[in-house]
């Protein structure tokens, strides 16, 4: 319960990674504010489970994070100073060659993966500095460090998110506020199904063969799990992580070794 009394805002709350991060932070002592675009009824069971397990308070705001006005509406009901920890876990992945990628899809990918974190950071960072404590954690990707074909908007946004992380870290390094990026490889969740299906089409193999080959491409022969990402989030928020800032931390089974 190292984070007793802290409040964490987690975007992408309805997704597997966001939900697991929220659960781990609650179990570490945080009250949780979940933000996602789905209706409250869809996440009600997850909210109830987190409350029952952690005995912490959980609020939920439906919000289209691509829409800046929606984000500001959330903060009309929520005081920026209530947020001690911000985890930008919401994301989207579009697959298309550059010549086939529409301007609208590009704007939506950049909007959710990069602009929304910027807007949220902007809303909370001033009061974090004033309090002398804050943790900002952006869920980027190893695709922010390396690249592959047909996901240019995803790569651009996740690379930009690492740059934003570093810029924010520099600006608040002496204010008790840290900002770090976590860079997972393939995580076995529905979010990555479309990417594996794309690889399947490219190779002509079955989905299970493609998934196995993707796993075997990792030196550890393992995908990253949502729980491993959540544990790293909690570590970065704990006293042990207080002198880590501006880092892009791969959690990738060794993919970026070479």
User: Tens digit of pLDDT for each residue in 220-258?
Assistant: 999 999 999 999 999 999 999 999 999 999 999 999 986
For residue 225, what pLDDT is reported? 95
Closest CA to 166 of 104, 244, 75: 244
pLDDT at residue 238 in the model: 97
Sites in the chain below the pLDDT cut of 50 = none
**What pLDDT shows up at residue 1?**
63
In the block, residue with structure tokens 């397990």: 53
- pLDDT for res 202: 78
| Spatial CB neighbours of 42, under 8 Å, sequence gap ≥ 6 | 14
pLDDT at 129: 97
State how far the Cα of 70 lies from the Cα of 48, in Å rounded to an integer. 25
> Would you name the residues annotated as active-site residues?
154
């Amino acid at each position: 319960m190292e984070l007793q009394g802290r409040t964490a805002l987690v975007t992408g709350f309805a997704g597997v990674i966001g939900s697991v991060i929220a659960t781990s932070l609650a179990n570490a002592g945080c009250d949780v504010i979940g933000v996602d675009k789905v209706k409250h009824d869809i996440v009600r069971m997850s909210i109830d489970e987190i409350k029952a397990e952690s005995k912490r308070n959980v609020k939920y705001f439906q919000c289209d994070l691509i829409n800046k006005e929606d984000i500001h509406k959330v903060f009309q009901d929520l005081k920026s100073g209530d947020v001690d920890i911000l985890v930008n876990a919401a994301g989207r992945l579009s697959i298309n060659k550059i010549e086939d990628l529409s301007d609208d899809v590009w704007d939506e990918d950049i909007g959710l993966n990069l602009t929304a974190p910027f807007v949220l950071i902007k809303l909370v960072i001033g009061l974090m500095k004033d309090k002398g404590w804050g943790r900002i954690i952006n869920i980027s990707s190893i695709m922010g460090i390396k690249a592959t074909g047909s996901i240019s908007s995803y790569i651009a946004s996740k690379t930009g998110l690492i740059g934003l992380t570093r810029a924010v870290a520099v600006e608040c390094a002496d204010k008790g506020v840290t900002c770090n990026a976590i860079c997972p490889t393939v995580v076995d969740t529905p979010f990555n199904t479309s990417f594996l299906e794309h690889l399947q089409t490219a190779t002509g193999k079955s989905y299970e063969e493609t998934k196995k080959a993707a796993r075997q491409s990792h030196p550890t022969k393992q995908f990253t799990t949502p729980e491993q990402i959540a544990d790293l989030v909690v570590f970065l928020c704990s006293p042990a992580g207080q002198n880590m800032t501006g880092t892009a931390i791969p959690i990738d089974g060794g993919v970026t070794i070479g």
